[in-house]
Amino acid sequence: MNDRVCLVTGATSGIGHAAARALVREKLTLVIHGRNAERLESARAALRGAGPADVQTIRADFASLDEVREMAVEFRQRFNRLDILFNNAGLLTDERRTGIDGFELTFTVNHLAPMLLTWSLLPLLRNAAPARILFNSSSALGDARLDIDDLQGERWHSGWSAYANTKLANMLMSSLLAERLAGDGIVCNSFCPGLIDTRLLKDNREFSPRMLEHIKKRVRTPEDGALTAVYLATAPEAAKISGAFFLKSQGAGRQPVHIHWDRDLAVRLREETARILKPWLGDQAGSAADSA
């Protein structure tokens, strides 16, 4: 299995980098993604020599769908397979902002970008089957107010709600992917890493210093937050689990928890996502709308 290829997005810090530090101990090609070239090379330098993995980098700003598409093209040129895709990169803002393409930024980075990447790399995942996809979601999805007619938060917006909506979207798309890919030898799962000490909270004005001080008492390390991801990416028994949601706060984070999800809402979201991404998916847009 030394020819395995693993891609971790958002791997220059936080949970992504902690997962990469664990995965570097595997005999595989580990491709770490980031948006800043200097930080990406620094992360690679920190990982090289820490294990047998061949550490490589790929750069893209998930706020730009053009860059995500170019990243997928470059990845397909460099590799003919993808065994593990860890959709980890994420964003939490304290105000409504738009990305380069005019879409609400949290929705772009947390949902549109990973779906564009996942759909674009499905042929390589099929080439590598049995393969695995995992999404870094969150129990924040319980606060979601996902409105298919207002995905951009133009009628109503708060930073936390936008984040919660995208975390619900991650879980919904993961569940649909699991259904669609069941016959292709690809498993797909989502998980909540718990409250982790990352930059996600620190620079956000929605959290007062007093609130952050209270939160600090409950946060875990990025290494702890990465445990479920590494389990889903590498454990032999995890290759038989698909369409599940995991909570790190539940024991060791290795047992799926029952969570009700609205399949009709998920299908509507998938169709709307494929419609939005059609300019970047091209001929793949139709198959994306029909699958997950």
Q: Which residues are catalytic?
A: 163
Would you state the structure tokens that stand for residue 269, as one six-digit string? 């979201």
Q: Where are the alpha helices (DSSP H) in the chain?
A: 14-23, 37-47, 65-78, 105-107, 113-128, 159-180, 199-202, 209-216, 222-225, 227-234, 263-281, 284-290
**Whole-Å CA distances, 75 to 42, 43, 80, 125:** 20, 19, 9, 12
Chain Cα centroid distance, residue 145: 20
DSSP state of 86: E
Contact 19, 86 (CB under 8 A): yes
Sign of the dihedral through C-alpha 224, 226, 229, 233? negative
CA-based nearest residue to 63, from 53, 71, 51, 55:
71
